[in-house]
């Protein structure tokens, strides 16, 4: 039960922090109003330039990567399974985003296309780094197959709630 609750909460927080990263980037780029939701963020009225779009799009994944690095370091230093779940949720979030990219390009794919290096270059690089961090953290925290299956179930519940509930979560406008 603890694994389920922990992963559901960490998943929601991971999504919020990821989207807040986008929002903060646009705010720092000088946009007057930025909308942040649990599963999306962007300047109200649209983006003014390709460079702003690149910075705004990549900031969310970079925040998620920093989260994964932080939790991986904690897991390695302490053997904390909680810290492992922090890496796990970051990995799963971006994995789900890559799957969705077959229908609608995610942050990494949009950046990869905008900078002209092929649609899958940045997404694959991100997934490889996150997978390495998750395996590295897992070696120290040893969550076990059973708990990883429970975590996957919890992530599935959380992501379903986030996607289906997005319309009901109020936007934060900064």
Task: Identify the pLDDT of residue 166.
Answer: 85
What would the pLDDT profile of 17-76 be if each residue is shown by its tens digit?
A: 999 999 999 999 999 999 888 888 899 999 999 999 999 999 999 999 999 999 999 999
Please write the tens of the pLDDT for every residue from 94-113: 999 999 989 989 999 999 99
Q: What pLDDT score was predicted for residue 39?
A: 82
Look at residue 169 in the predicted model and tell me its pLDDT. Answer: 85
| Percent of the chain residues topping a pLDDT of 70 | 100
Cα–Cα distance, 25 to 58 (Å, whole number): 9
The pLDDT value given to residue 40: 85
Tens digits of per-residue pLDDT, 130-144? Answer: 999 999 999 999 999
Percent of the chain with pLDDT over 90: 82
Residue 130 is predicted with a pLDDT of: 98
The DSSP annotation for 38-107 comes to: SS-EEETT--S-HHHHHHHHHHHHHHHHHHHHHHHHHHHHH--HHHHHHHHHHHHHHHHHHHHTTTS--H
Q: Are 29 and 51 in contact (CB under 8 A)?
A: no
């Amino acid at each position: 039960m603890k694994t389920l609750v922990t992963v559901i909460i960490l998943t929601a927080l991971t999504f919020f922090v990821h989207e807040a990263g986008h929002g903060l980037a646009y705010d720092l780029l000088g946009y007057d109003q930025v909308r942040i939701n649990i599963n999306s963020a962007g300047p109200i009225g649209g983006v003014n330039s390709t460079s702003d779009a690149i910075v705004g799009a990549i900031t969310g994944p970079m925040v998620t990567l920093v989260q994964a690095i932080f939790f991986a370091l904690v897991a390695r230093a302490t053997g904390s399974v909680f810290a492992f779940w922090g890496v796990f949720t970051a990995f799963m979030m971006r994995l789900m985003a890559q799957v969705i990219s077959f229908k609608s390009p995610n942050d990494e794919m949009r950046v990869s296309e905008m900078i002209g290096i092929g649609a899958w270059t940045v997404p694959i690089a991100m997934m490889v780094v996150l997978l390495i961090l998750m395996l590295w953290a897992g070696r120290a925290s040893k969550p076990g197959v059973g708990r990883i299956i429970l975590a996957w179930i919890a992530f599935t519940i959380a992501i379903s709630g986030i996607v289906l509930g997005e319309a009901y979560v109020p936007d934060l406008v900064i």
